[in-house]
Structure formats: structure tokens, C-alpha cells
Amino acid sequence: MTIVLGLTGGIASGKSTVSKMIRELGIRVIDADVIAREVVEIGKPAYQQIVETFGLDILLDNGEINRGKLGEIIFSSEQKRLQLNEIVHPAIRLEMLKQIEDEKRKHSNAVVLDIPLLFESKLTYLVDKTILVYVDEETQLKRLMQRNGFSEEEAVLRIQSQMPLTEKRLLADELINNNGTIEETKKQLHDILSYIIH
């Protein structure tokens, strides 16, 4: 039986690092962000809907969606963010389900869905167990400012647009505390996987 794991975290909590560790172990990771980019490519149904909803102003000269511009629109308006989610999420879910089925056909031990907004988007029904990568608030803010070159205000806005990590911790089946070293994180991951998969 293929176990489907949901990997999540907050922005700048180190989820991508853990995702990479999982790949290195030979477990397939289905990345919601990658799929989210693919489903809005020119010619895809979601692309058309986004342009109809948000207008031609959000397009680059080559016709692709200007992610930065669209990001500004949805980060400043809850209603617009919900509109975008209603277009994109169903397309992402469909693609994820297809890829999960691929792994089940191959009789893989496990497959991991890397979904930043696993709890917010109410997608836990897609997985058997959830793993949350978390850091404390101070670390999250510092890492986000360093990584993206955001001002403190910009970073706080991005963090506040997500469910707080403290709330996510209560919802997750397994926790990886990523405040320490890479080695400590890796050990927590290995412990969780060996307990779940074997």
C-alpha cells in the first residue's frame, strides 16, 4: 500500500529543505507550487479564467501571467485571493490526484504531497498523515526577510496571510522542529519516516 504524506509548513519555515531531503531518500514529492505554475501556463483552462477575472494588466509582454503583479493584487485583497484560489485549486487537486495514482500503480511505499497551504485549503483528505515543518516566529521573520529581501512590514504581511504555525502545530500528525541544525532536522525526518513507512 502506498502511504500518502502531506508535507506543509509556513512561509520560510524550511519546508523546501525537508522536501529536498525526502527526494534524496528516493521518495517522490509532488510539489503543489510546481503544479500551480504549470496549471496557469498559456493555453491551460485556469490561465484563461485568470485573465478573464483579473484582466490583461496582469500579463507580461509574452502573454504569460506576471506572478509579481498578480501577487500584489491578491495579497492586498482577501476577496481577490479567494477568487484566484477558486480558479487554481481545483486544477491543482486534479493534477495531484493523477500523480498519486501513478505512484500507487508503481506500488511505491510512500508519496509526499508538498502543499504549503495544506490546512488552509482543507486538503488533508488527500493524505494519510500530515507532517509540519515549523520554526519560531522570530526565526520565520528573519529568514523571510533575508531570503526574499523583504522589509519587516512586507515579511509580516506575507506571514499574516497564512494560518499561524502555532495553529498548524495543533492540526499536524507529525512535527519537525526546524529551529536547529540541518542534521537535527534530518534526524527528525528519518525518525518520522521510518515509523510511518516501516
| Binding site per annotation, positions for ATP | 12-17
* Contacts of residue 29, Cβ cutoff 8 Å, sequence gap at least 6: 7, 19, 22, 23, 111, 112, 113, 114
- Local structure of residue 109 (DSSP, 8 states): S
Contact 2, 104 (CB under 8 A): yes
Give the residue ranges of the annotated binding site.
12-17
* Contacts of residue 52, Cβ cutoff 8 Å, sequence gap at least 6: none
Torsion (CA) 140, 145, 146, 149 in degrees, nearest 10? 150
